[in-house]
Amino acid sequence: MYNLLKGKRGIIFGALDENSIAWKTAERVHEEGGKFVLTNAPVAMRMGQIKNLAEKTGSEIIPADATNMDDLQNLVTKAMEILGGKLDFVLHSIGMSVNVRKNIPYTESNYVNTEKGWDVSALSFHKVCQVLYKNDAMNEWGSIVALTYMAAQRTFPDYNDMADNKAYLESIARSFGYFFGKDKKVRVNTISQSPTATTAGQGVKGFDGFIAYADAMSPLGNATAQDCANYTVSLFSDLTRKVTMQNLFHDGGFSNTGVSNEVIERFTK
């Protein structure tokens, strides 16, 4: 390991189980010398094994509903108390669609469900940034990262309203990134990750097809959760100080590939 994050402090949202990108990232941050608090919504914590991760990394857990401003204020205040100062990194790895869970087609969206999913998956990122910004909770050259997916740019029919949520999420990174950069010298970016076999991802209809197709299209193959954790660590480090307001594709080359020989062969047999 390289001690890339030695002395750095942060918050990691969304670690559910060992398949999740947030979980892998927490492990890698720990290996690189970073310290952090873990957080998730109480209902998600009951579903996952976050306590095991906390024990493994010597971290404390602060439950918080990322859509609730009071919870976020408590989270940021307590995190700085526990860690002994301002923060250097934050990972937002949260996503949920009630319409997807209930197999409601995009053309028949239940808008109460849509608003809930938008609040959890996208607006929560603005709320997190706002609390960090108002509390001056980030050190200069700190890094805030959120996870997204290419359905924000291209149509994947079964990704449903999560595509809209991710597009909004990416816009927040650009817009809040401007103010964080000008006023605080803090970076805000999104990582557009390959389809990854996480608990959340597997809830999308036809997800195995997503993974297989992307893998066949990508010159380097799909990026795994572990690969994404490594990339996130690089964005938390001082090696990427001038990278901000970017949507960074981390997908083995999928985003720039029109078609691959493997896909052509599949359809010409």
Residue positions annotated with a catalytic role:
149, 159
> Is 166 labelled a binding residue?
yes
Give the CA distances from residue 81 to residues 143, 186, 212, in Å, rounded to whole numbers and listed in that order: 19, 20, 45
> Is 21 labelled a binding residue?
yes
> Is 6 labelled a binding residue?
no
d(CA 168, CA 250): 19
> Is 201 labelled a binding residue?
no
Angle at 191 (CA atoms; ends 245, 160), nearest 5 degrees: 110
> Is 116 labelled a binding residue?
no
| Closest to 260 (Cα-Cα) out of 221, 223, 195, 216 | 216
d(CA 55, CA 67): 26
Give the annotated binding-site residues for NAD(+): 14, 20-21, 94, 166
Give the annotated binding-site residues: 14, 20-21, 94, 166
